[in-house]
Amino acid sequence: MYGHQAIRNMSPAYPQFFRAAEGALITDVDGNEYVDLMCSWGPIVLGHRDPVVTQAVREQMEKGDCLDGPGPVLVDLAEALVDAIDDADWILFGKNGTDATTACLTIARAHTSRAVVLVARGVYHGAAPWCSPVPAGTLPSDRAAMGYFEYNDQADFDRAVEAAGSDLAGVMLTPFRHVEGEDQELVDVEFARHVRRRCDELDALLILDDVRCGFRFAHGGSWEPIGVSSDLSAWSKAIANGYPLAAVTGRESLRDAASAVFLTGSFWMNSTPMAAALATIRRLDAIDGVSLMQRAGARLRAGVLTQAADSGLTIAYTGPDVMPYMTFAGDVHHERMTRFAEAALASGVYLHPKHNWFMSCAMDDAVIDRALRATEQAFAAVRRHFGPR
C-alpha cells in the first residue's frame, strides 16, 4: 500500500478496503459502516453516489467515454466553470491535482521566461518531484528553481522574493495553510493582498492551488470572498464528486502560454468525469452546497468543542468549518489523536488523526449527530487512557 494508505502512516485499526458508500456513509469490506468524515480525502462533496451525478455519468457512458478527442461535454463544462470562477477566462483539464499544479508551474515559466516559483514551507502541492514531501527518489535539481517562505509571514515572503531576484516566475499558495500533522491557519487577508501586490509589481504570477479547497470553501475561487484575484488556479478533488478530473483555469493574458506548453495524458479527454463535473457544479450551485457544508461543519465544531470541554480535555479545532483539523494540547506525537481516531472508528466514524476532515452536502443534522455520538465515545476513550488534561 502506498500514499495515505501505507501501513506506516495508518493505525492497524483502519480498514484499507471498502465495498460500498452511499450519501455520508461508507462501508468497509467487513461490512462495518462509518460516517465518512474524510469524503475520500476531499473529492466527495455532494455525498457518495449522488443520484444526479450518477445519472449524468450513466448517460455519458451510453455515448462513450475514452474517444479520439473530447466530447461536447468539455465545452459545456468549461463554460460552466468559467461562469462560476471570476478569475477564469479559459480552462484545461487533467486527472489529478498534481497534473494541475505542475501545469500551472510550467505555464508560469513559459509565460514569464523565468524559473523561480515560490511556495509556502510544508504546504502540499502534489506528488511530483518538484513538490513531493518525501525526498526519496527526487534530486536537489528537481527543486533548484523553487523558493520557500512561511505562510502568512510578509517579511519572510519578501526575503524569498528578494532571493529570487529578477528570475521570479510566480508564487503558488493554497487558500489557507494546511500542513499534515499541524494546526491549520486561515489566510491573513493583508498577507494575501501583499502577495498580489508584489506579484503585480514584479510581473510574476499568483497561482492559487485550489485543489483541496475548491468548491467547498466557496462556489468559485476560494479567495473570491476576500477579493484577492489569482492569475492561474489549480483544481481537482471536489469538482467531479469523486470522478477523476483536474483543471487549470487562467486569465486571458495566459492563454498563449497555456497553449504553448505540452500538456496531455492518456485519459485527460475522457468524457465521463467531465459529465460528472458538470452535474456536480450545477447541483452545488442549485442547492447552495457551500452553505449546507458550512452548516454541517458548524454543528460538528460546536458539538466537538462541547464534548472536549465536558471531558476536561484541551483541544485545538482549526481551519474552516468545512475542512476542520483537530489536535489535543501537547500531543506532539499524535498519540492522543490516534487513540481518539481509533475509538471514533470503533464507534462508527471514519476520520483521520493527522489530516483535516471534510464536510459534504450529504451531512444533515442526523448524520452530524450520529458522528458526534461516536466522537463522545472517542473523548471518553482518550480520557480513560491518558487521564484528564
Ligand X SMILES: Cc1ncc(COP(=O)(O)O)c(C=O)c1O
Q: State the residue number with the nearest CB to ligand X.
A: 97
Q: By C-beta, is 2 or 113 nearer to ligand X? A: 2
- Decide whether 131 or 368 has the Cβ nearer to ligand X: 131
Phi, psi angle pair for 298, to nearest 5°: -65, -40
> By C-alpha distance, which of 270, 132, 343 is closest to 351?
343
**Dist CA 313 CA 231 (whole Å):** 44
Closer by beta carbon to ligand X, 104 or else 337: 104
CB of 246 to ligand X, least distance (A): 7
Grid coordinates given for 10? 495508518
What DSSP string runs through 265-299? Answer: -TTTT-HHHHHHHHHHHHHHHHTTHHHHHHHHHHH
Tell me the C-alpha distance between 289 and 292, whole Å: 5
Q: In the numeric block, which cell numbers belong to residue 174?
A: 493554497
The total of other beta-carbon atoms located within 10 Å of residue 114's CB is 20
How many Å apart are CA 374 and CA 367, to the nearest integer? 11
Least distance to ligand X, CB of residue 209, Å: 5
Q: Minimal distance in Å, beta carbon 55 to ligand X?
A: 25
- Give 81 or 120: the residue with its C-beta nearer to ligand X: 120
Q: Find all residues with CB under 8 Å of 20, minimum gap 6, and list them.
A: 26, 27
Nearer to ligand X, 230 or 236 (CB): 236
Q: How many Cβ atoms sit within 10 Å of the Cβ of residue 363? A: 26
3-state secondary structure 59-123: HHHHHCCCCCCCCCHHHHHHHHHHHHCCCCCEEEEECCHHHHHHHHHHHHHHHHCCCEEEEECCC
Provide the minimum distance between the beta carbon of 175 and ligand X in the complex, in angstroms, as a whole number. 9
- Shortest CB 265 distance to ligand X, Å: 12
- 199 versus 239: smaller Cβ distance to ligand X: 239
* Min separation Cβ 232 and ligand X, Å: 13
Nearer residue to ligand X within complex by CB, 60 or 101? 101
Which is closer to ligand X, CB of 203 or CB of 267? 267
What cell does 248 get?
Answer: 487549470
Nearer CB in complex with ligand X: 124/379: 124
89, exposed or middle or buried, with CB in 10 Å at 0-12, 13-18, 19+?
A: middle
Nearest to 50 by CA among 272, 284, 244, 246: 284
Minimal distance in Å, beta carbon 172 to ligand X? 9
Query: What is the C-alpha to C-alpha distance for residues 329 and 350, in angstroms, rounded to an integer?
Result: 22
Q: Is the CB of 77 or the CB of 367 nearer to ligand X?
A: 77
Which residues would be at the binding site for ligand X (CB under 6 A)? 96-98, 101, 124-127, 174, 209, 211-212, 236
Q: Please report how close the Cβ of residue 165 comes to ligand X at its closest, in angstroms.
A: 27
> How many other C-beta atoms lie within 10 A of the C-beta of residue 207?
29
The least CB distance from residue 38 to ligand X, in Å, is: 12
**Interior/surface letters 52-88, b for 16+ CB within 10 angstroms, e for the rest:** bbeebbeebeeeebeeeebbebbeebbebbeebbebb
Least distance to ligand X, CB of residue 179, Å: 10
